[in-house]
Structure 1
Amino acid sequence: MIVELLKSQPEIALFVSLALGYLIGSIRFGPISLGGVCGTLIVALVLGQTGARIAPDLKNIAFALFIFALGFTGGPQFFANVGRGWRYGLLSIVEIVSVMALIMIAVVLMKLDAGTAAGLLAGAATESAVIGTASEAITRLGLSDAQTSTLQAHIVTAYSVSYLFGLITIVLFTSQIAPLILRINLREEAARLYRKLGGDGALDEGQRLALPPLVGRAFKVGAAAGTEVAAFEARFGNNITVEHVLRDGAQLDATAQTVLQAGDVVLIAGRREAVIEAAGSLGEELPGEGLFKLLAKRVDVMITQRDVNGLTLAQMRERAAPEAGRGIYVGAITRLDTTVPALPGTVVHRGDVLTLIGTPNDVARGAKRLGYVIQQTQKTDFVYLGLGILVGMMIGRLGLNMGGVTLVLGTGGGCLLSGLFFGWLRSHFPVVGSLPSAAAQVLKDFGLATFIAAVGLSAGPDAIKLVREYGLALPLAGILMVLIPGLLSLWIGRMFLKLEAPMLLGAIAGQQCSTPAISALVGVAGNSTPVIGYTITYALSNILLPLMGPVVVGLAAKFG
């Protein structure tokens, strides 16, 4: 009865796959969890034995929405990383070249078909989007419907087997094995790097986050009487700001030229360490009741200005005119939806989102200088979204023939490139193309999960045959395709690129597009310095790897 119900109403199988899949994917084993996509695939493969099938049109629409949203959200960071951060970008190239070489070796030695080869790439590189671009490429090989379905089933089966072993390998390699190879204590190295970037190494990150990084205090001026505000702020590295002065009952707006007088009540704002240091030079601390709430305004600003691209936060403050930088503090840096340490030595790039904190006038001045304020809206511009996907579908029809291998981007590759362009365009002209980050995340999550469930349901019967045919060869291949690129990147990054160990390990996690790996790495390191390297390689690999799906299919079809 249940089998007949699932066959007659396959949408039930779809949502059962999503619900149970994400439940299974949320179960953690130490730092490792399968994730919702892999969990959905496993459940769908099981339910696929009942004969439940999802219409191909729904599968294609879901993938188009996912891949466009992936490109749209990654566009600003992708183009920002192409021209700079070449040392980290080189590691993404190492990943792609080495994995592609290993895939072709496996194709020749193991006689892999195009579907199994593409699934091995998707699983070993832990990049689910490859499944979609490769599946579409298989439909263009000119095979019968039965052969096409079999090869597409091999993609998801090879992916599910190699993904599990690849995921475990990259987590263990970055957080445990690589530090042993480098002969370093990762926590000590991360603490040293944190201090080098201008952080306070006295506290670990958990304690530091529990304390407010920006504070306001009121003092009655004593020892600082006769000092000009600009000189007083410069004495503490301009990490504090004298915002208001209460003199003889009258409130004054403090300028850089204001001279403090004995008995003035001043409201000081700034970084906690600097305010504590300045307290001894001011006088008696007061409750501050009745004064304005100082750090009440927070805005998220996307960096678009070329002249601040590649500067550290400290360099940005140094190069700003004294009045231009007063009262503006960076509370956080977000890159690809990942928080990067907002330290004086942290380099910022176009596409980064800075959380500015200060008075309304101060943050408005800073936002105008750096880029544009990200408006908090829940409205999606469906004209922009629909046009972007249509352009992607047209791009996907383009192809070329190289050495007898036909390469066609397909809807997946076309929508990915279109999403990149439309996302980049939105970052430079923010008045058009609203796609809130929450909406984009829903498109990515639901689109990919729906596509994976549909493919898994159709692959059910062929999955068992493939596992029986290759046995342990697929898991072993998945492990080698993580270890060999990881070891190459570790050697090149350390010996030739001279990268700091925490950021190098984060970059290796990013080149594998592995969120569990960076989470485990941050936990072992004790702070978030590895994230700095992770975001750059993740931005590049997350775009370049899906484009390799059609390439693998074309090469494997010719040589496999």
Structure 2
Amino acid sequence: MSVVFEFLAANPVLLIFLLVGLGAAVGRVSVGGVSLGAVAVLFAAIGLTAWSVAVGVPIEVPAAIGDIGLVIFAFCTGLIAGPGFFNALRTSYPLMLVVAGVLVLSAVAAFLLGGALGLDPVTIAGTFAGATTNTPALAATGGSPAATVGYASAYVFGVIGAMAAAALALRHRPSDTDAMAPIVEKPVQIDTTTIHTVGEIVAHHSDRVAISRIKHADDGQIDPVRPDTELEVGDVINVVGPRDEVDEVAIELGHTSAIDITRERSSLDFRRIILSNPKLAGRTIGGLRLHEQFGASIARIRRGDVEFVATDDFVLHQGDRLRVVGPRDAMADLTSFFGDSERGMADVNPLALGLGIAIGLGIGAIQIPIPGGHFSLGYAAGALLLGLVMGRIGRIGPIVTSLPHTAASVLAEYGLLVFLAFAGTKAGSLIVSAIVSGEVLTLLLLGFVVTSIAMFGTYLVGRFVFRLGGTRLSGVVGGAQTNPAILAFANLRTDYDVRVALGYSLVYPAAMVVKILLAQIMVGL
């Protein structure tokens, strides 16, 4: 085998794709209905690297390749979660503070138990970094051999323990109450004599419903609606939104009509159109002035596997699939206006991708002074933070700051696989050193305690204090562990539910900063 390992060591590009392929094959193996998925790349890399070290020919993926994978993953995850992140942030900052408190508690336990076991502060800090799978925290200790051995000893259970906590959270997924309700539509006949406008009805329901068209009682004409369109007795409107909201509109205004006006397409038609025109990406629906240009409107938007009600302030992304309602003779012009090309779903937007990651890396590299030294957010946290901002903004002047959901998802998956292969070879080479050191059992015990407090403490707080649904809680667990492998584990089991990435993004930046600071504090004690 030494000849094989020598060949792999001399060809790191071949090595990384071999590890991805082998890991993917292992990840498809199901035991009791459970498979590892992308996370298997990490364990395949650990096993193969440990084997290579044992025969005296260590293999390794270059750190630069691992860094590229990590920052692409972090940036694209931010883009995907950005539209919902800042809305959730206003109500989720207590969760971030409590998760930080749980990490502080795990660090205190590490220092006390480590001291009782006769370990020095540097080894304790490295073990803490490994148990919470945070490489920047290891760097904050100075990266000494003692800290590195502690990190390697605790790392594997840091991943396994976090996966167990995420799996426990996902057991409660069927009872989640924060799932986005499916979008439905219903024809409603107006019975009330009180005159309402379309804008008043939509505002009364906090933009959770949309009205796509109206059939007038006086002449039977079907028209698209405007905010100032008045609803009169006998009119039939088509209401779009979550089922409970649509039912409320029907009760308020009249009753469900037996006339399905969406089937009457002689004058007014609808079509599902892909927004592939980059000039429109990042703009609000209201800013497109569809009614003025075409006499048309957008009823709903599908992004990835999630449908949204169309509102004037909704920011469109390239690759969104729009249900457009308008005059039949305007449909060709509307299709040309939006583009309607599958290529729009795969446009990686190199300008936003390149400059966004570069600026994020610059933010992550900024040295922030603290008593006794300094710290930085690190490349991953910087890229994630800027991705969140750019995903939320959508456009700055003529520059589109977002990527299509499909393109961002593919890039995030690619970056994750590359990073897992790198992290596996790094950990695999260190684990052999940890075993040879003779301290491995002591360090394993310390790492087990730290990971259990950090991960299951986060689970308990999220589940019973903040009453988080299992889907979002699995993402919170991954974010608290600052480990992309846990996000991949949860994504695989939820079919990439956006709530996982949102939960991950909410706590990741704060957890990253807290771990770096705690590692530095422990070394200085």
TM-score range, shorter chain: 0.5 to 0.7
**Which residue, 449, 457, 464 being the options, matches 2:432?**
464
1:430 positional shift: 0.7
Q: 1:117-516 residue pairs with structure 2 within 5 A?
A: 117-118=125-126, 121=129, 124-125=131-132, 130-131=134-135, 133-134=136-137, 136-137=139-140, 147=145, 152=148, 155-156=151-152, 158-172=154-168, 174=169, 190=176, 193=177, 213-215=183-185, 241=211, 243-245=213-215, 252=223, 256-257=229-230, 259=232, 268-271=238-241, 274=246, 282=257, 288=264, 290=266, 292-294=268-270, 296=272, 359=325, 378-382=347-351, 385-386=354-355, 388-389=357-358, 392-393=361-362, 396=365, 398-400=367-369, 402-403=371-372, 406-409=373-376, 413-414=378-379, 416-417=381-382, 419-421=384-386, 423-424=388-389, 427-428=392-393, 430-431=395-396, 432=399, 434-436=401-403, 437-467=405-435, 469-470=438-439, 477=446, 480-481=449-450, 483-485=452-454, 499=466, 501-503=467-469, 506-507=472-473, 510-513=476-479, 514-515=486-487
1:413 positional shift: 0.9
Amino acid at match of 1:25: G
Inter-partner Cα distance in structure 1 for 2:451 and 2:129: 10
Q: 1:63-142 residue pairs with structure 2 within 5 A?
A: 63-69=70-76, 81-110=88-117, 111=119, 117-118=125-126, 121=129, 124-125=131-132, 130-131=134-135, 133-134=136-137, 136-137=139-140
**Distance change in 2, residues 1:167/1:438 (3 Å):** same
2:509 matched residue in structure 1: 543
* SS of residue in 1 equivalent to 2:230: coil
Q: Deviations over 1:190-220 (max 9, x none)?
A: 5xx57xx996xxxxxxxxx6xxx42466x9x
2:42 maps to 1:40: yes
* SS of residue in 1 equivalent to 2:264: coil
* SS of residue in 2 equivalent to 1:293: strand
Q: Is the 8 A contact 1:171 1:516 kept in 2?
A: no
Inter-partner Cα distance in structure 2 for 1:338 and 1:476: 43
Report the count of equivalent residues: 458
Amino acid at match of 1:257: E
Q: Is the 8 A contact 1:161 1:474 kept in 2?
A: no
1:553 positional shift: 4.5
1:20 positional shift: 1.1
1:113 positional shift: 7.4
1:17 positional shift: 1.2
Amino acid at match of 1:46: L
Inter-partner Cα distance in structure 2 for 1:426 and 1:198: 20
TM-score (normalised: structure 2) = 0.64
Unaligned runs of 5+ in 2: 286-295, 328-343, 480-485
* SS of residue in 2 equivalent to 1:359: strand
**Distance change in 2, residues 1:554/1:438 (3 Å):** farther
Amino acid at match of 2:240: G
Q: Is the 8 A contact 2:157 2:451 kept in 1?
A: no
Q: Is the 8 A contact 1:81 1:89 kept in 2?
A: no
Inter-partner Cα distance in structure 2 for 1:395 and 1:81: 23
Q: Is the 8 A contact 2:195 2:230 kept in 1?
A: yes
1:377 positional shift: 6.3
1:2 positional shift: 1.7
1:203 matched residue in structure 2: none
Amino acid at match of 1:12: L
Q: Percent identity?
A: 14
* SS of residue in 2 equivalent to 1:51: coil
1:24 positional shift: 2.3
1:18 positional shift: 1.5
Amino acid at match of 1:166: A
Inter-partner Cα distance in structure 2 for 1:98 and 1:304: 45
Q: Deviations over 1:87-139 (max 9, x none)?
A: 433333233323333343454344277578546545x55x6xx23x245546x
Amino acid at match of 1:466: A
* SS of residue in 1 equivalent to 2:101: helix
1:402 positional shift: 2.8
1:379 positional shift: 4.0
* SS of residue in 1 equivalent to 2:520: helix
Amino acid at match of 1:98: L
**Which residue, 23, 26, 29 being the options, matches 2:25?**
23
RMSD across aligned positions (CA): 5.4
Inter-partner Cα distance in structure 1 for 2:431 and 2:443: 13
* SS of residue in 1 equivalent to 2:59: coil
Inter-partner Cα distance in structure 1 for 2:30 and 2:74: 27
**Distance change in 2, residues 1:304/1:43 (3 Å):** same
1:543 positional shift: 1.9
* SS of residue in 2 equivalent to 1:270: strand
Amino acid at match of 2:432: I
**Distance change in 2, residues 1:556/1:87 (3 Å):** closer
TM-score (normalised: structure 1) = 0.61
1:378 positional shift: 0.5
1:503 positional shift: 3.5
Unaligned runs of 5+ in 1: 180-185, 200-208, 306-325, 362-374
**Distance change in 2, residues 1:466/1:506 (3 Å):** same
